[in-house]
């Protein structure tokens, strides 16, 4: 399988992801991960600043400056999402990522629930591929970037949850574990 070329990560995803012990796998999965310019204002610790600046220096990360037309579409998307009051709110950071994902075909990396639901509910965004950390980990296993521990197929996911105090939904986690088990059976 070919590795994916480009992704755009929202700042919340990247900061949470940066606590993960194998955070560099993101740079092996994608040629370039674009990040919003404001990401640099949102990090304070030396560890994360170093990781991000190393990513920028090696061209694995790149700053993305949205054009006014993209911001305008993101505003419209926020308004549309707010027409469903029972759904989680969408704000500019994740809305911009979805717009950029739609227009440029980038995979969107986010943990925002509204952004995860948008392709399922809004026809304009149905082709946008949105990945959470769970999908990043699973794809890293699929592309042989992470070698799973076949004696404990959930270990990769457990490590991420431990490092970031994250809980994956049981249904999707169990599906991912089953896929890892199947991959282990085949090898």
Partner 1 sequence: MGEDVIKEFLEWEVKARELRRRMADWEFINKQPPRIREALKYYIEKGDLYVASRIAGLSIEEFNELRIKARIPNVA
Contact 94, 119 (CB under 8 A): no
109: β partners: 9, 131
- Rounded CA-CA distance 33/109 in Å is 9
Question: Please, which residue, 62 or 92, has the CB nearer to partner 1?
Answer: 92
If the CB atoms of residues 105 and 169 are measured against partner 1, the closer one turns out to be 169
Let me know the angle formed at the C-alpha of 40 by 39 and 41, rounded to the nearest 5 degrees: 90
**Distance between alpha carbon 166 and the CA centroid of its chain, in Å?**
14
Which residue, 1 or 165, has its beta carbon nearer to partner 1? 165
User: Measured from the CB atom, is 106 or 160 closer to partner 1?
Assistant: 160
**Least separation in angstroms between CB 51 and partner 1:** 11
Minimum distance from CB of 115 to partner 1 (Å)?
A: 10
Minimum distance of partner 1 from residue 98's CB (angstroms): 14
Question: Sign of torsion, CA 139 144 146 151?
Answer: positive
Minimum distance of partner 1 from residue 184's CB (angstroms): 26
Helix (H) or strand (E) holding 8: strand 4-9
Minimum CB separation of residue 48 from partner 1 in Å reads: 6
Instruction: Determine the Cα–Cα distance for residues 12 and 34; give it in Å rounded to an integer.
Output: 13
**What residues make contact with partner 1 under the rule CB under 8 A?**
11-12, 15-16, 18-19, 41-45, 48, 84, 86-89, 91, 93-94, 111-113, 116-117, 120-121, 132-133, 164-169
DSSP state of 125: G
* Nearest CB to partner 1, comparing residues 108 and 133: 133
């Amino acid at each position: 399988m070919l590795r994916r070329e480009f992704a755009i990560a929202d700042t919340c995803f990247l900061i949470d992801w940066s606590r993960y012990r194998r955070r560099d796998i993101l740079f092996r999965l994608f040629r370039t991960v674009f990040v919003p310019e404001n990401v640099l204002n949102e990090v304070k610790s030396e560890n994360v600043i170093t990781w991000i600046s190393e990513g920028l220096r090696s061209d694995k990360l790149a700053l993305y400056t949205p054009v006014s037309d993209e911001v305008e579409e993101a505003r419209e998307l926020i308004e549309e999402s707010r027409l469903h009051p029972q759904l989680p709110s969408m704000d500019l950071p994740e809305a911009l990522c979805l717009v950029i994902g739609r227009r440029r075909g980038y995979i969107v990396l986010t943990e925002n629930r509204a952004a995860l639901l948008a392709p399922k509910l809004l026809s304009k965004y149905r082709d946008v591929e949105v990945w959470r950390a769970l999908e990043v980990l699973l794809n890293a296993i699929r592309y042989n970037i992470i070698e799973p521990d076949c004696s404990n197929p959930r270990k990769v996911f457990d490590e991420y949850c431990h490092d970031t105090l994250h809980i994956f939904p049981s249904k999707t986690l169990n599906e991912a574990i089953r896929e890892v088990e199947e991959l282990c059976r085949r090898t």
